[in-house]
């Protein structure tokens, strides 16, 4: 804090010594008695420096009234309460007392009217709200000392955190919902998107807390990021759960298909021949019709390979093709009606509703603190 520290007192020893006001500065001020105030909570202060090292001025009236003003720079500590960060209001104080003289020798008090003023009320991260002054006596082993204290109240600016944290976090959470519309068989891309969003939120949490005091309680911003992290993580768990359900369903369908294929009746026109007599290529001895297709399957038998040649007419082949298409369409239609599809459809509506409800509750609670 940079400011001007002014002290007013009356010294009876200087009454009548001059018929006009005397102004002193620099080393001349050290020839006159003056109080020795210090700041309790200052880590660094120019109050203890000599007048030759800093700008200072002393005015002495003929009646003994003295005004002592000096430029002062104070770096003070402020115990902050960060439960509501970044919608918090902070109270910082400066506490002054005499280091040498107890209450019986010096009694400190604030001047009447406006004892303290703040010139720069708009700071980078805070709005200045008000200040309060008070005086009291503190007891120590060496005696009682008069104390004056000024308290400054600041409200934190929210704009920086809306741009740098809240808005990116909302978009990241919404980005994690894309997995619900992706192909359920594309597990790799779904997992990659979910892990990327998790790492991004973890980076946001780390970057914000790195510049904050290490407190042992969660802040309001931490709650927002933790809930967002939980929703993104649950989306990743949902992808894994849907993939497991899909694989189980596909395994059951495969087993049913195998059972049905075993129960299928053999083709009517089947010709069993030895491998040596199986016509691999068209030749002059074999009369192949232009309207037929050959379905060739091999099966082991007595140490030699045998072949089955089934001659199907084009009409039969078309019938088979139509049947296969119907079964494929039926399977695809069944895929859309599976539990895995139901879970994905449920997540498409449930996750946005949860996040919307959380935002309504969160902002309605904490925005009241800014009013």
**Distance between CA atoms of residues 57 and 68, nearest Å:** 6
In a domain, 328, yes or no: no
Q: Is 310 helix (H, G, I), strand (E, B) or coil?
A: strand
In a domain, 13, yes or no: yes
Ranges in the chain, pLDDT < 50: 266-315, 317, 324, 329-335
List pLDDT tens digits, range 253-293. Answer: 887 777 766 655 544 444 444 444 444 444 444 444 444 44
The tally of domains found in the chain comes to 3
In a domain, 312, yes or no: no
**Distance between CA atoms of residues 125 and 34, nearest Å:** 38
**Distance between CA atoms of residues 29 and 350, nearest Å:** 75
In a domain, 288, yes or no: no
For residues 225 and 362, state if they share a domain. Answer: yes
Q: In the listed set 94, 124, 156, which residue is the last one of a domain according to the structure?
A: 156
Q: CA quadruple 64, 70, 75, 80: dihedral positive or negative?
A: positive
Tokens 């010594």 map to which residue? 17
Q: Establish whether the linkage from the previous residue to 294 is cis, with ω within 30° of 0.
A: no
Q: What is the pLDDT of residue 33?
A: 92
Q: Among candidates 71, 142, 139, 134, which has minimal Cα distance to 108?
A: 134
**Distance between CA atoms of residues 24 and 368, nearest Å:** 52
For residues 186 and 216, state if they share a domain. Answer: yes
Q: What is the pLDDT of residue 209?
A: 84
Q: What is the pLDDT of residue 175?
A: 95
Q: What is the pLDDT of residue 131?
A: 94
DSSP labels for 204-259? HHHHHHHTS---SS--HHHHHHHHHHHHHHHHHHHHHHHHHHHHHHHHHHHHHHHH
Structural domain boundaries, residue 125: 79-156
**Distance between CA atoms of residues 118 and 125, nearest Å:** 16
The encoded tokens of residue 78 equal: 């402020």
DSSP labels for 136-176? EEEEETTEEEEEEEEEEEEEE--HHHIIIIIHHHHHHHHHH
CB 38 within 8 A of CB 5: no
For residues 351 and 214, state if they share a domain. Answer: yes
Q: In the listed set 62, 77, 92, which residue is the last one of a domain according to the structure?
A: 77
Half-sphere exposure of 304 (CA within 13 A, CB side): 8
| CATH code at position 171 | 1.20.58.390
Q: In the listed set 43, 77, 111, which residue is the last one of a domain according to the structure?
A: 77
The encoded tokens of residue 54 equal: 């800093």
Q: Among candidates 293, 303, 301, which has minimal Cα distance to 273?
A: 301
For residues 45 and 192, state if they share a domain. Answer: no
- Cα angle 69, 7, 148 (rounded to 5 degrees) comes to 130
């Amino acid at each position: 804090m940079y400011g001007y520290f002014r002290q007013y007192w009356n010294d009876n020893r200087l009454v009548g010594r001059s018929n006009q006001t005397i102004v002193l500065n620099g080393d001349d001020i050290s020839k006159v008695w003056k109080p020795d105030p210090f700041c309790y909570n200052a880590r660094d202060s120019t109050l203890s420096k000599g007048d030759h090292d800093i700008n200072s001025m002393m005015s002495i009236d003929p009646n003994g009234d003295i005004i002592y003003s000096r430029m002062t720079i104070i770096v003070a500590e402020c115990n902050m309460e960060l439960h509501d960060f970044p919608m918090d209001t902070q109270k910082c104080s400066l506490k002054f007392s005499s280091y040498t003289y107890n209450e019986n020798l010096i009694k400190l008090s604030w001047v009447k009217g406006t004892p303290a003023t703040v010139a720069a009320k708009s700071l980078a991260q805070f709005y200045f709200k008000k200040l309060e002054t008070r005086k009291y006596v503190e007891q120590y082993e060496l005696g009682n000392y008069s104390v004056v204290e000024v308290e400054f109240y600041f409200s934190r600016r929210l704009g920086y955190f809306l741009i740098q944290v809240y808005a990116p976090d909302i978009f990241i959470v919404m980005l994690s919902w894309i997995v619900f519309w992706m192909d359920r068989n594309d597990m790799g891309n779904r997992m990659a998107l979910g892990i990327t969003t998790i790492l991004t939120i973890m980076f946001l949490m780390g970057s914000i807390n790195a510049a904050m005091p290490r407190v042992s309680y969660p802040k309001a911003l931490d709650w927002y990021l933790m809930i967002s992290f939980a929703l993104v993580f649950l989306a990743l768990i949902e992808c894994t759960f849907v993939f497991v359900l899909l694989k189980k369903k596909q395994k059951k369908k495969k087993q049913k298909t195998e059972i049905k294929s075993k129960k299928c009746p053999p083709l009517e026109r089947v010709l069993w021949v030895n491998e040596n007599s199986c016509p691999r290529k068209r030749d002059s001895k074999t009369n192949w019709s232009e309207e037929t297709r050959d379905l060739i399957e091999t099966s082991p038998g007595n140490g030699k390979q045998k072949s089955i040649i089934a001659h199907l007419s084009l009409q039969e082949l078309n019938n088979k093709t139509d049947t296969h298409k119907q079964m494929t369409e039926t399977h695809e239609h069944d895929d859309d009606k599976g539990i895995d599809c139901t879970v994905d459809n449920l997540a498409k509506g449930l996750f946005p509703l949860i996040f919307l409800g959380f935002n309504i509750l969160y902002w309605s609670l904490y925005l009241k603190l800014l009013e």
